[in-house]
């Protein structure tokens, strides 16, 4: 499916932006230089007649993205959280993409539910409303369970959504391959790997059974977190295309006027949403990776309600420590340490100058340290960061894509609630707490304990492994006779390490 026919889809994308008038809006929002503007119009205008018309009642950018399909809508949702990057007007237009897209008919949703769950809708639900929210992947209905009367939300995938996404992804693969072939300087950005990563994320989002599992895991991790509510899935009424979960009543976090009218402190909410993300990423290594305002509500008691767990991020222990040390280095203005961590983790090629990299990082940190969000130009900062990655040959790290994307989104949400938020001041207690627990002597002892546990699982197999190695060595006369003894010495050393690890484990 990734053949040249995708050229037509990419041409239609540009033609749609031209036909709807969105191309000028987008170029203005990103302050595109004259040569880029000329090239975009020159490529789009001749094929304008191929562009999709979209809904004329919508603003240009929203009209174009909704016409192009779900993958483009996802991109628009991310931009909707960054008015500091794309401008207030465009960000406001794109908020429509979060949960106000045109729904499909209720009768179609009911038919799909009955097909998936193999029961009549009236037998499962005593009440079933028309759609209350509609996004790129699915729409949501308010319902009550038959018998108990429990209020629930019923999420139903859009018909043929898998096929629609597949077409978009195929076109993206084609574009990524073309970029790698025609623009060698862009290969460090690993466009094919990025699209492969995006493809995997989307496939997970299109199976609501996986979202139910993600919601349950996230709820288990955060059960003791104050100020946070997570709905629970109703497992027997959930499947691949249908998910039933607790109903969550609250004010949409995108509606500042409604939040103020309800008496909520937006300054507190802004700090909480940022700290909540950092805590989940660092403490649990498992975080909600689609935290735009359309997926967040505020309950009457001020708790933040999180839902839509289709996209989740996961970090291993090592990556979490690297991430925390980088953040802590910026908070402490220790740019040399930030540079060292980048080199130690392999994010920067070893042949580059670490002192020069530290100096480049100082240019990032100094202008924003101690500043509130209203004094920071995120668009200029992102442009400079891109220059730094290019100058120092930093490749895209696919394992960090979701983390970096979510950081941008969450910081944008926090800014929308409190334009004067100081992100470093808010982040400091969470990062310092993680550093205290996970970097230093206590962390070393805990790691030794875990190593001991891992070695203990293999202890019964050690004699057999040693004997097998010795027998294998005896069958190879060309090797020196001391080889077997060296193996034995290493084995005895391993046994000593095991004993030390078990002893350390008893102290923890």
The string of pLDDT tens digits covering residues 188-230 is 667 788 778 778 777 778 899 999 999 999 999 999 999 999 9
What is the average pLDDT across 313-325?
87
Considering the chain, what percentage of its residues have pLDDT values greater than 90? 29
Is there a domain that residue 143 lies in?
A: yes
Q: Give residue 260's pLDDT band: very low, low, confident or very high (50, 70, 90).
A: very high
285 and 178 share a domain? no
Q: What pLDDT is stored for residue 392 in this prediction? A: 82
Strand order in the sheet with 296-298: 228-229, 304-306, 296-298, 251-252
Are 335 and 374 in a shared domain?
yes
For residue 126, give the H/E element and its range: strand 125-134
Tokens 């996004």, located at residue: 135
Residue 290 is a catalytic residue: yes
pLDDT of residue 213: 94
Decide if pLDDT at 507 tops 60: no
Check pLDDT > 90 for residue 63. no
**pLDDT recorded at residue 50:** 79
Q: What is the pLDDT of residue 370?
A: 62
Supply the pLDDT for residue 431. Answer: 85
Question: What count of other Cβ atoms lies within 10 Å of the Cβ of residue 163?
Answer: 8
Q: Are residues 106 and 208 in the same domain?
A: yes
Looking at 146-237, which runs of residues are DSSP E strands? 151-157, 228-229
Q: What SS3 class is residue 30? A: coil
Do residues 307 and 390 share a domain? yes
**pLDDT: is 494 or 378 the higher one?**
378
Q: What confidence score (pLDDT) does residue 68 get?
A: 85
Q: What mean pLDDT, rounded, does the chain reach?
A: 81
Distance CA 56, CA 52 (A): 11
Domain check: are 393 and 320 in the same one? yes
Distances (CA, A) of 66 to 74, 76, 104, 173, 206: 10, 9, 14, 21, 18
The pair phi, psi for residue 365, each rounded to 5°, is: -80, -45
Q: For residue 180, is it within any domain? A: yes
300 and 426 fall within a common domain: yes
Mean pLDDT of 475-494: 48
Mean pLDDT of 410-433: 87
Q: Are residues 254 and 278 in the same domain?
A: yes
Instruction: Indicate whether 163 belongs to any domain.
Output: yes
The pLDDT value recorded for residue 435 is 82
237 falls within a domain: yes
Highest mean predicted confidence (pLDDT) among 14-28, 124-138, 183-197, 396-410: 124-138
Q: What is the pLDDT of residue 177?
A: 81
Q: Region 236-254: what's the mean pLDDT?
A: 93
pLDDT reported for residue 82: 66
pLDDT at 508: 38
- If you average pLDDT over each of 60-74, 181-195, 242-256, 453-467, which comes out highest? 242-256
Final residue before a domain boundary, out of 216, 247, 278: 247
Question: According to the per-residue pLDDT averaged within each range, which of 89-98, 103-112, 173-182, 471-480 is highest?
Answer: 103-112
pLDDT at residue 127 greater than cutoff 90: yes
Instruction: Judge if 89 and 164 occupy the same domain.
Output: no
Report the pLDDT value the prediction gives residue 494, as an integer from 0 to 100. 43
Residue 178 has pLDDT above 70, yes or no: yes
What is the average per-residue pLDDT within 169-176?
81
Q: How many domains does the chain have?
A: 4
The Cα–Cα gap between 84 and 99 comes to 21
- Residue 302 burial (CB < 10 Å; 0-12/13-18/19+)? middle
pLDDT-derived band at 376 (thresholds 50, 70, 90) equals low
Residue 485 confidence (pLDDT): 47
Q: Is the pLDDT of residue 501 over 90?
A: no
Averaged pLDDT for residues 260-268: 95
pLDDT range class, residue 417, cuts 50, 70, 90 = very high
| Residue 458 domain-assigned (yes or no) | yes
What is the SS3 assignment for 448? helix
Question: Quick check: is 231 in a domain?
Answer: yes
Residue 204 C-beta-side C-alpha neighbours within 13 Å = 19
Instruction: State mean pLDDT over 135-160.
Output: 92
Please state the rounded mean pLDDT for residues 492-507.
38
pLDDT of residue 262: 94
Residue 473 or residue 352, greater confidence: 352
| In the block, residue with structure tokens 């496939």 | 203
Q: Which two tokens stand for residue 18?
A: 């031209």
Q: Is the pLDDT of residue 154 over 90?
A: yes
Whether 172 and 190 map to the same domain: the answer is yes
Co-location of 206 and 79 in the same domain: no
Q: Which domain holds residue 396?
A: 250-439
- Residues 44-65 have a mean pLDDT of 83
Query: Span 376-380, mean pLDDT?
Result: 57
Highest mean pLDDT among 85-89, 149-153, 431-435: 149-153
| pLDDT number for residue 15 | 84
- Asked whether the predicted pLDDT for residue 145 surpasses 50, the reply is yes
- Among 199, 227, 247, the domain-final residue is 247
Roughly what angle, to the nearest 10 degrees, separates helices 60-68 and 22-29? 110
pLDDT at 180 over 70: yes
In the 8-state DSSP scheme, what is residue 282? Answer: I
Task: Note whether 429 and 295 are same-domain residues.
Answer: yes
| pLDDT value, residue 495 | 41
Across 40-65, average pLDDT: 82
| pLDDT at 287 exceeding the cut of 80 | yes
Judge whether residue 263 has pLDDT over 90.
yes
Please report the pLDDT score of residue 4 as a whole number: 61
> According to the model, what pLDDT value does residue 175 have?
78
Whether 235 is covered by a domain: the verdict is yes
Rounded to the nearest 5 degrees, what angle is found at the Cα of 30, between the Cα atoms of 310 and 183? 80
pTM of the model: 0.74
Of 421, 439, 457, the domain-final residue: 439
Catalytic residue among 168, 170, 290, 308: 290
Assess whether 125 and 272 both reside in one domain.
no
User: What is the reported pLDDT for 465?
Assistant: 74
Q: Is residue 1 part of a domain?
A: no
């Amino acid at each position: 499916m990734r053949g040249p026919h995708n050229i037509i889809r990419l041409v239609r994308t540009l033609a749609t932006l031209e036909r709807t008038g969105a191309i000028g809006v987008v170029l203005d929002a990103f302050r595109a230089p004259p040569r880029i503007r000329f090239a975009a119009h020159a490529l789009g205008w001749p094929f304008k007649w191929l562009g999709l018309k979209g809904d004329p009642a919508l603003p240009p950018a929203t009209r174009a993205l909704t016409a192009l399909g779900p993958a483009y809508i996802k991109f628009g949702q991310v931009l909707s959280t960054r008015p500091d990057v794309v401008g207030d007007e465009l960000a406001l237009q794109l908020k429509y993409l979060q949960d106000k897209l045109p729904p499909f008919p209720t009768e179609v949703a009911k038919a799909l539910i009955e097909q998936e769950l193999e029961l009549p809708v009236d037998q499962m639900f005593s009440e079933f409303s028309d759609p209350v929210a509609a996004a790129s992947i699915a729409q949501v209905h308010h319902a009550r369970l038959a018998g108990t009367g429990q209020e629930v939300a019923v999420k139903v995938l859009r018909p043929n959504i898998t096929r629609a996404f597949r077409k978009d992804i195929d076109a993206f693969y084609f574009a990524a391959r073309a970029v790698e072939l025609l623009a060698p300087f862009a290969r460090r950005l690993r466009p094919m790997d990025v699209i492969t990563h995006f493809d995997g994320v989307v496939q997970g989002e299109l199976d609501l059974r996986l979202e139910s599992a993600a919601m349950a895991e996230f709820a288990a991790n955060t059960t003791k977190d104050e100020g946070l509510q997570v709905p629970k899935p109703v497992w027997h009424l959930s499947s691949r295309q249908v998910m039933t979960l607790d109903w969550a009543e609250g004010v949409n976090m995108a509606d500042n006027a409604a939040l103020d009218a309800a008496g909520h402190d937006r300054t507190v909410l802004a700090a909480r949403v940022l700290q909540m993300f950092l805590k989940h990423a660092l403490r649990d290594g498992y975080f909600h990776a689609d935290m735009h305002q359309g997926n967040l509500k505020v309950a009457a008691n001020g708790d933040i309600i999180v839902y839509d767990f289709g996209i989740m991020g996961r970090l291993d222990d090592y990556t979490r420590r690297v991430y925390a040390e980088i953040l802590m280095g910026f908070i402490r203005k220790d740019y040399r340490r930030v540079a060292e961590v980048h080199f130690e983790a392999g994010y920067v090629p070893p042949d580059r100058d670490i002192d020069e990299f530290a100096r480049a990082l100082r240019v990032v940190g100094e202008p924003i340290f101690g500043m509130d969000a209203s004094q920071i130009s995120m668009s200029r900062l992102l442009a400079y960061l891109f220059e730094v990655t290019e100058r120092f040959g930093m490749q895209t790290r696919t394992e960090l894509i979701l983390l970096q994307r979510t950081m941008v989104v969450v910081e944008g949400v926090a800014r929308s609630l409190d334009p004067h938020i100081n992100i470093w001041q808010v982040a400091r207690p969470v990062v310092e707490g993680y550093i205290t627990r996970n970097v230093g002597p206590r962390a070393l002892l805990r790691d030794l304990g875990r190593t001991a546990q891992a070695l203990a699982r293999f202890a019964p197999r050690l004699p057999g492994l040693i004997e097998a190695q010795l027998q294998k060595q005896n069958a190879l006369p060309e090797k020196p006779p001391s080889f077997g003894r060296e193996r034995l010495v290493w084995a005895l050393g391993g046994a000593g390490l095991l004993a030390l690890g078990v002893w350390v484990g008893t102290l923890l």
